[in-house]
Amino acid sequence: MSDKTVLLTDSASNRTSTLPLVSGSMGEPAVDIGRLHKDLGYFTFDPGFVSTASTRSAITFIDGDKGILLYRGYPIEQLAKQSSFLEVTYLLINGELPNAKQFGAFEDEVTHHTMMHESLKNFLHGFHYDAHPMAMLCGSIASLSAFYHDTLDISDPEQRRLAAIRLIAKMPTIAAAAYRYSIGWPVRYPRNNLEYCTRFLHMMFEVPSEPLALNPVVAKALDLLFILHADHEQNASTSTVRLVGSTGANPYACVAAGIAALWGPAHGGANEAVLKMLAEIGDAKNVGVAVAKAKDKNSGFRLMGFGHRVYKNFDPRATIIRETCHQVLGALGVNDPLLDVALALEEVALKDPYFIERKLYPNVDFYSGLIYKALKIPTEMFTVMFAIARTAGWVAHWLEQHQDKDTKIGRPRQIYTGAVTRNYTSIAKR
Ligand code: ACO
């Protein structure tokens, strides 16, 4: 808490409220409005939490104007170049980079929790064959509450830690099983001699009849995408995990709620929506029409993969991923006409005053779908991939929330706009 304050005067009543400023280690301070209602009788109104910090957090820092993203203080550019997804996961959860011994123990633990309960296979078989894998993932992760609920005491830090490990370990297994069920393939069990991303790719693509020949470029690209998607402070899905977590709910239920929030096209569903949009545009020559449609408010159409609530300069993840997109497509010898459409769209939109004035730049998901496509990940699995990566952030935030003595149940207020008080009339008189 800083000693600076903000003085708020209610001109109607001439009453004042002196509100303290709250500062973190970096970034802009916030006004602590905790006493506003007591002093002046007002709540605040901020739909979409555009100006509201919901918590203190030491995990991720974003400066949207400067295009800065730090995990536990480390720039995303350095982590993308030098780290691995599992190491980043350790960092997000524990706050520090591991030494070799700590990393070995962590990797070992994650690796030995990769199996899913056999009954979960039956659970997946209850879905219709064409169910969306996000629906299956959300339902299956929520169902883990039933497998572990009775034995889980969330007031015990060790049990919380174990729940986090289980989620990180089992998410790829369940995601791959959901996909295989949807295409009628038998579930492939995790091979624990492989590292995290390679193991996942084997669970996705290996068939019982022949070994999988995997280009190492694919696992490396996946690892990078997972690093970039691992956390993004109080985004919609993480805030959902925290809101559900604030009630003391089981961590699997909290993460299932996060998966549901991630699915929407305004959030993690954007990577799937980008590819659909690029396919609909079809050819670079149609880009002008699409941009005109996105600018027309009556069309209800937005350029998917453009704009961000926080980044009003550029999305640093998009800069990294754009470069990777070219490298991966080149290394795999993929000549995707949709990349030409994407590049043409990017060029036209970035020069257009509508997008410049509103600070709408390509976000991470503008390119991630193109890479996933090149890696032969099916389109309906794109958001599932995001969910696997974001599990690292979700569990880190859930753990942090349970260590924070200031955590309270999340309970926003509202401005009521319904009917004013009136008397009930019997049905005969209506
Ligand atoms: N295409 C066209 N116009 C847009 C777009 C877009 N993609 N995004 C925003 N705008 C316009 C809005 O119409 C609005 O215009 P106005 O001021 O004339 O009314 C202005 O830009 C501001 O838009 P808001 O919706 O107020 O911005 P907000 O910060 O609430 O939304 C969001 C951010 C949801 C990401 C939005 O830009 C969007 O819908 N983008 C497309 C979906 C997408 O790519 N989502 C992925 C986000 S990244 C992630 O989750 C990993």
pLDDT in tens, 108-141: 999 999 999 888 988 999 999 889 999 999 999 9
Residue recorded with tokens 């174990």: 162
Q: Check residue 335 and give its pLDDT.
A: 85
Residue nearest to atom 32 of ligand 1 (CA): 308
* pTM across the whole model: 0.92
CA 74/CA 82 separation, integer angstroms: 11
CA 217/CA 331 separation, integer angstroms: 7
The Å distance, Cα 326 to ligand 1 centre, comes to 26
Q: In ligand 1, which atom is closest to the CA atom of 48?
A: 30
Helices (H), 210-315: 216-229, 236-245, 251-263, 270-281, 287-295
Q: Check residue 130 and give its pLDDT.
A: 87
Q: In ligand 1, which atom is closest to the CA atom of 274?
A: 44
Q: Check residue 336 and give its pLDDT.
A: 84
Nearest C-alpha neighbor of 120 from the set 64, 70, 212, 189 = 189
Which strands make up the sheet holding 30-31, listed edge to edge?
Answer: 5-10, 15-22, 30-31
Is residue 68 within 8 Å of 319, Cβ to Cβ? Answer: no
Nearest C-alpha neighbor of 71 from the set 317, 321, 318 = 317
User: How much of the chain is helix, strand and coil, in % rounded to 5?
Assistant: 55, 5, 35
The Å distance, Cα 374 to ligand 1 centre, comes to 27
Is residue 278 within 8 Å of 262, Cβ to Cβ? Answer: no
Q: Check residue 1 and give its pLDDT.
A: 55
- CB count within 10 Å of CB 146 equals 15
Which among 297, 360, 386 is the best mutation to test ligand 1's pocket, defined by most ligand atoms within 8 Å of the CB?
Answer: 360
The DSSP string of 39-74 is HHS-----GGGSS------SSEEEETTTTEEEETTE
Q: Check residue 339 and give its pLDDT.
A: 86
The Å distance, Cα 383 to ligand 1 centre, comes to 19
Q: In ligand 1, which atom is closest to the CA atom of 262?
A: 50
Is residue 7 within 8 Å of 16, Cβ to Cβ? Answer: yes
Is residue 271 within 8 Å of 325, Cβ to Cβ? Answer: no
Cα dihedral 267, 269, 275, 280 in deg (nearest 10): -90
Catalytic residue among 202, 232, 267, 308: 308
Residue nearest to atom 8 of ligand 1 (CA): 307
Cβ < 6 Å from ligand 1: which residues?
48, 266-268, 270, 294, 302-309, 358, 360, 363-365
Taken in order 297, 300, 304, 309, the sign of the CA dihedral is positive
Q: Check residue 313 and give its pLDDT.
A: 82
- CB count within 10 Å of CB 236 equals 17
Enumerate the β-bridge partners of residue 383. none
The Å distance, Cα 66 to ligand 1 centre, comes to 19
Is residue 181 within 8 Å of 136, Cβ to Cβ? Answer: yes
Is residue 172 within 8 Å of 199, Cβ to Cβ? Answer: yes
Residues of the chain with pLDDT under 50: none
Nearest C-alpha neighbor of 92 from the set 119, 59, 47, 69 = 59
Residue nearest to atom 26 of ligand 1 (CA): 309
Is residue 367 within 8 Å of 325, Cβ to Cβ? Answer: yes
Residue nearest to atom 3 of ligand 1 (CA): 302
Q: In ligand 1, which atom is closest to the CA atom of 315?
A: 48
Q: Check residue 146 and give its pLDDT.
A: 86
Is residue 92 within 8 Å of 72, Cβ to Cβ? Answer: yes
Q: What are phi and psi of 8, to 5 degrees?
A: -110, 125
Concerning whether 156 is annotated as a catalytic residue, the answer is: no
Nearest C-alpha neighbor of 116 from the set 87, 150, 90, 146 = 146
Query: C-alpha distances in angstroms, 226 versus 44, 286, 362?
Result: 37, 32, 18
Which among 267, 271, 298, 308 is the best mutation to test ligand 1's pocket, defined by most ligand atoms within 8 Å of the CB?
Answer: 308
The Å distance, Cα 281 to ligand 1 centre, comes to 19
Residue nearest to atom 13 of ligand 1 (CA): 297
Q: In ligand 1, which atom is closest to the CA atom of 358?
A: 21
The Å distance, Cα 266 to ligand 1 centre, comes to 8
The Å distance, Cα 361 to ligand 1 centre, comes to 10
Residues 291-343 pLDDT 10s: 999 999 999 999 999 998 888 888 899 999 988 888 888 888 888 888 889 98
CA 231/CA 221 separation, integer angstroms: 17
Catalytic residue among 365, 397, 404, 406: 365
